Amino acid sequence: MDKDKLIEELMADSRNKTYSKKGLGPIFQLNKECKILIIGQAPGKKVEETGILFNDKSGDRLCEWMGISKKTLYSKDISIMPMDFYYPGKAKSGDKPPRKFIARDYHPLFLENLTKVKLKVLLGLHANKYYLKDGFKKNLTQTIKDYESYLPEIFPLIHPSGLNNRWISKNPFFESKILPALKRVVDDTLKS
């Protein structure tokens, strides 16, 4: 299914009626030639306002982690598919989780367009649990520590949100081991 048809179907889906009534379309980045697919959580409020994924501090951090520029993030080499294509709203701490039906019903339609993907970067608990299934370890920390077992197709990560600063400070391996490896893998994939 092409991008326009996918958008049309999402906007016609009654489960997205609240967004469609407000004139809000689904937010994703689909580039058929991409080598890297980033699978994130869901757009935040700022992203909903601009319609551009990672157009916030988490996007700056993600680029830093991957060793790429914003220009590369929005290039033909990268697609971005959130677990929910709409901002799910606020919860007590952070945003509400992505709605489950989006990944179940719409990710397969999105993925059928992406035949050249060499690396999937999974951001956060929801993306990692959904895509790793039985390969997900007892928690996200253990999954990330064991990143090499998922290569070369998948690289598991926490979400680049500032809400994860405490986790990063409690897990120094992330900055000393994981991020240098991520930069190498991303660079190799983009050059291939």
Q: What is the mean pLDDT of residues 169-191?
A: 98
At what angle are helices 57-66 and 179-191 packed, to 10 degrees? 80
Does residue 115 surpass a pLDDT of 90? yes
pLDDT in tens, 19-57: 999 999 999 999 999 999 999 999 988 888 899 999 989
User: What's the pLDDT tens digit per position in 63-96?
Assistant: 999 999 999 999 999 999 999 999 998 888 778 8
pLDDT greater than 90 at residue 166: yes
Distances (CA, A) of 162 to 93, 127, 136, 168, 169: 12, 18, 23, 10, 12
From edge to edge, which strands make up the β-sheet containing 36-39? Answer: 78-80, 36-39, 119-123, 154-157
Q: Is the dihedral of CA 9, 98, 155, 93 positive or negative?
A: positive
Distances (CA, A) of 87 to 41, 44, 95, 156, 168: 10, 5, 8, 22, 25
Assessment of whether the complete model's pTM goes beyond 0.85: yes
SS3 state at 110: helix
Average pLDDT over residues 56-60: 92
pLDDT in tens, 124-162: 999 999 999 999 999 999 999 999 999 999 999 999 988
Pairing of strands 119-123, 154-157: parallel
Q: Name the residue with tokens 């007590």.
A: 92
What pLDDT score does 142 carry? 98
- What's the pLDDT at 95? 80
Q: What are phi and psi of 154, to 5 degrees?
A: -135, 140
